[in-house]
Amino acid sequence: MEKIWDTLLHANHVGFALLDRELRLLRFSALFATWAVRPPANAQNIAESYPEVFGLEETLLQLYDQPGETLALPCVHRVGADEATHYVDLKFVAMLSTGEAEPHFLFTVTDESEKYQLRQERQQQRNEIMLLRATLGGQQQFLADSILGRSPAIARLKDLVQRLAHAPAATVLLQGESGTGKSHLARVIHYLSFATSAPFVEMNCAAIPENLLEAELFGYEKGAFTNAIKSKKGLIEEADGGTLFLDEIGELPLSLQAKLLHVLENRKFRRLGNTQEKKVQVRCLAATNRDLKAAVENKQFREDLYYRLNVVNLELPPLRDLGEDVFTLANHFLALYNLDFKKKISGFAEETKPMLRAYHWPGNVRELRNVIERAMIFCDTSEIRARDLALPLALNAITASSSPEFRLPEAGIALEEVEKSFLTQALTLAQGNKTRAAALLGLTRDTFRYRLEKYEIE
């Protein structure tokens, strides 16, 4: 019988020993000796080989007369011959007496390293998930804070974006001039609304030839057209469970606008070459710098699609209307390019601030970023100066003329005519925007308006 035990226990990688009432070793297997801290010997107390047993004598004595009862010591650490940490389970089993022999203990040692390592990995994964969930709120705040600026227009935009995070099914139309950050805002809305694993699929409707747009958007089946050698998912299908962002939606051909409307209304679509409709759960974000209302009036954009896209309308303000936010953005880009170019430029010289504030920025944030990048490349001082910015000459000229270096001609000047001329030039440079024109002359808006009224300048 003992030989059978030996064979079965060894086959299952279980070491064992037989113990008497005083916990002395009667016999033991090789695997038992493998995990002992001291080499075992017959008549030796088991606590010398397995110190974890020390102090359990009274508890084990109670088990001695209860055959079949067990006492387990799980997950005992050992360092093996491979110098790796192993985890073994120790167990006492009270045995029945056989014939005239007294009952004894069966002591088993089982290497459960793989089980405990898997358990640890699962627990680690749970901890990571909990940590991810705990940090997601902070991540969401980080995303919201990535919309830089403190002007009233930006504050309102941030508020609307936070509200949209709780309405992940709402269709959103982003409108604004080129370079105002519509693509960035679309990503912020997506990641505030969905889990990080949800897909964000972007398509620029103006960048794909019209004859390829339908296949790109809806996908196709094998053999649907020449060279369709295998089936392919479209972007609508790829975005299932997440967001489809259609940039430059105003450039979408009329022939596809009705099909897109069907998808938005019914959450269904067909691949090219297939008669079966597929269901999708996708949120649509669309962006354009075109006046879609005018396009609708000119029959260049479907009215029904316009109203379906325009569930929530977010108008991104141009940079020239954001006041002091231009400095926030400029400093942000300066910090980025300090890292990229391994420079330590501390900021902007005072002479540059009126220029940054007064410039019209037709390319908006994108243009500002390019201007700062170029300035960082050529700047060889600790601060970015006017010559580094390389803004239009007219702006440099008016900035220079307002500097302390201006000298009154010996023949004198007609002050009122000069003042009227400056007021008119400022209005022209600011394209009629009185707030920017006032900034060009270092005046408040109210003072500037007073002077316009004084000289009857329209």
DSSP structural state of residue 45: B
Q: How confident is the model at residue 236 (pLDDT cuts 50, 70, 90)?
A: very high
Contact present, 402 and 442 (Cβ < 8 Å): yes
User: Is pLDDT larger for residue 127 or for residue 85?
Assistant: 85
Long-range contact pairs involving 331-335 (C-beta distance under 8 Å, separation at least 24): 332/148, 333/368, 333/369, 333/372, 333/373, 334/372, 334/376, 334/384
pLDDT tens for 255-270 read 899 999 999 999 999 9
Contacting residues for 430 by C-beta, under 8 A, at least 6 apart? 358, 360, 436, 437, 440
What's the farthest any 2 CA atoms get from each other in the chain?
136
In this predicted structure, the answer to whether residue 429 has a pLDDT above a threshold of 70 is yes
Half-sphere exposure of 86 (CA within 13 A, CB side): 16
pLDDT at 399 over 50: no
> What does the pLDDT read at residue 141?
55
What's the token pair of residue 457?
Answer: 């300048």
| Strands 243-247 and 283-288, sheet pairing | parallel
- Could you tell me the pLDDT band of residue 403, with boundaries at 50, 70 and 90? very low
Let me know: does 165 contact 192? Beta carbons within 8 Å.
Answer: yes
The mean of the pLDDT values for the chain is 83
Q: What is the pLDDT of residues 280-298, one digit of tens each?
A: 999 999 999 988 999 999 9
Segment 34-59 shows an average pLDDT of: 88
Which of these, 72, 85, 78, lies nearest to 49 by C-alpha position?
78
pLDDT at 136 over 90: no
Higher pLDDT, 97 or 171: 171
Mind giving me the DSSP string for 253-303?
-HHHHHHHHHHHHHSEE--BT----EE---EEEEEESS-HHHHHHTTSS-H
Q: What is the pLDDT at residue 368?
A: 93
When mean pLDDT is compared across 120-124, 178-182, 286-290, the lowest value belongs to 120-124
- pLDDT exceeds cutoff 60 at 215: yes
Nearest-angstrom CA–CA distance, 264 and 172: 12
Length of the chain: 458
Residue 135 has pLDDT above 60, yes or no: no
CA dist list (Å): 457 to 127, 271, 401, 423, 441: 69, 62, 22, 8, 16
For range 235-251, the mean pLDDT: 94
Tokens of 38: 């001291």
Span 61-85, pLDDT tens digits: 888 778 888 888 888 888 877 788 8
Query: What is the Cα Rg of the chain in Å?
Result: 39
> By the 8 A CB rule, do 410 and 442 touch?
no
174: how many CB neighbours lie within 10 A of its CB? 25
Mean pLDDT for 157-165 is: 89
Q: How confident is the model at residue 411 (pLDDT cuts 50, 70, 90)?
A: low
121 is written with which tokens? Answer: 């990995």
What's the rounded Cα separation, in Å, for the pair 439 and 77? 73
The pLDDT-based confidence of 404 (bands split at 50, 70, 90) is very low
